[in-house]
Amino acid sequence: MKRYRINKNTSNNPNGNNEVHNEDCYFYSRILSYEDLGLHVNCQSAVAEAKRRCYVRADGCKTCSPTCHRG
């Protein structure tokens, strides 16, 4: 299980997505505006949780969650 958080700020993302990061990610501790998504077994679960919280443009980070990264 890893902790995940979602970046509330989409202005740095070329596709306007809310990127989802896990606690091992370089960016995890550097996001200024985020919401904690809690503990998840994988990024699919974390992205699904984000979508339940109405982040319709939630997407896995290319660096830490490449299997959940679509664009």
Of positions 13, 27, 42, 51, contacts Zn ion by CB under 5 A: 27
The CB-of-27 to Zn ion minimum distance in angstroms stands at 5
Structure tokens at 24: 């091992």
Over the window 47 to 66, marking each residue x when it contacts Zn ion by CB under 5 A and - when it does not, the resulting string is --------------x-xx--
Does the footprint of Zn ion cover residue 68 (CB under 5 A)? no
Give Rg (Cα) of the chain.
10
**Positions in the binding site for Zn ion (CB under 5 A):** 21, 25, 27, 61, 63-64
